[in-house]
Amino acid sequence: MCYYIERGPGSTFSKLDTLYPTALLRDVAGKDVLCLASGGGQQSAVFALLGARVTVVDLSEGQLRGDRIAADHYGYSVTLIQADMRDLSCLGTGSFDLVYQPESLAYVPDVHAVYTEVARVLRPHGRYRVSHEQPTVFAVEWQDGRYCITKPYAERATQRPDGGTEFRHYLSDIFNGLLSAGFLVESLHEAPYYRQTAPQVTPGSWLHQQRYVAGNFAIVARKGAA
């Protein structure tokens, strides 16, 4: 079930290198862009300020609030919808030219339902940019002054300290799932976070781990012709 939060004129957003590959930002003016499970105001602000018609879908109303604040601050219009990424029935078939999704697939146990929904809402030849965590570093933890892999590769779920659950997705599911949903993989991009300079980062923090372990990557796939 989907809940429309509001449509209205956008917060601050992070460095553009978090929207890798930046080539996706070319020629988005006048295009319909879906920021899927990426509430918070970062990605939607960039696409909207570049002239795209932006829709944000996120399960968390609190995350969507960030997109609303960004739109109000910068003076653009954005459509905000509270929904599960696995059920986009509130969005019309063939509504978008680009679907942009960060690492949020880690919060669902099966990627196939999401891929199927994305394929439906994309127009023929539309692009899907989706990020994943490299499955071999899914269970890396900071222990005794070093990064350690603490769970067997077969273990697919882990509990975060805040009570949330994250899921490991195998490479076969990630790539074969896209192919079975009708996508053609165009390119693969490692996350550029390891290149960021951040002196005095706390060992074991997310930024520290990204510099020393990395592990995130993005796929750009194109939907086939109808």
Please enumerate, as own/partner, the contacts of 22-30 that have beta carbons within 8 Å and a separation of 24 or more: 24/98, 24/100, 24/127, 24/129, 24/220, 25/50, 28/52, 28/98
> Does 16 score more than 70 pLDDT?
no
Q: Which domain holds residue 60?
A: 3-223
Nearest to 204 by CA among 144, 120, 153: 144
Q: In the prediction, which pLDDT does 158 show?
A: 87
Label residue 199 by pLDDT band (50, 70, 90): low
Label residue 9 by pLDDT band (50, 70, 90): very low
Mean of the pLDDT values across residues 210-215?
84
Mean of the pLDDT values across residues 139-152?
90
Sign for the CA dihedral angle at 112, 118, 124, 127 comes to negative
Label residue 4 by pLDDT band (50, 70, 90): very low
Residue with the bigger pLDDT between 131 and 12: it is 131
Label residue 211 by pLDDT band (50, 70, 90): confident
With pLDDT > 70 as the criterion, what percentage of the chain qualifies?
91
Q: In the prediction, which pLDDT does 226 show?
A: 64
What is the tally of structural domains in the chain? 1
> Does 11 score more than 90 pLDDT?
no
Q: In the prediction, which pLDDT does 166 show?
A: 92
Q: In the prediction, which pLDDT does 160 show?
A: 81
pTM score, whole prediction: 0.90
Q: In the prediction, which pLDDT does 2 show?
A: 52
Tabulate helix, strand, coil % of the chain (nearest 5): 30, 30, 40
| C-alpha distance from residue 162 to each of 23, 74, 165 (Å) | 35, 32, 9
> Does 40 score more than 50 pLDDT?
yes
Nearest to 37 by CA among 131, 148, 119: 131
Helical packing angle, 171-180 and 112-121, nearest 10°: 30
> Does 64 score more than 60 pLDDT?
yes
Label residue 192 by pLDDT band (50, 70, 90): confident
Which residue type occupies 207? Answer: L
Token match 């290149």: residue?
A: 195
pLDDT tens, position by position, 148-180: 988 899 999 988 888 889 999 999 999 999 999
146's CB contacts (< 8 A; 6+ apart) are none
Q: In the prediction, which pLDDT does 17 show?
A: 64
The domain spanning residue 127 has which CATH number?
Answer: 3.40.50.150
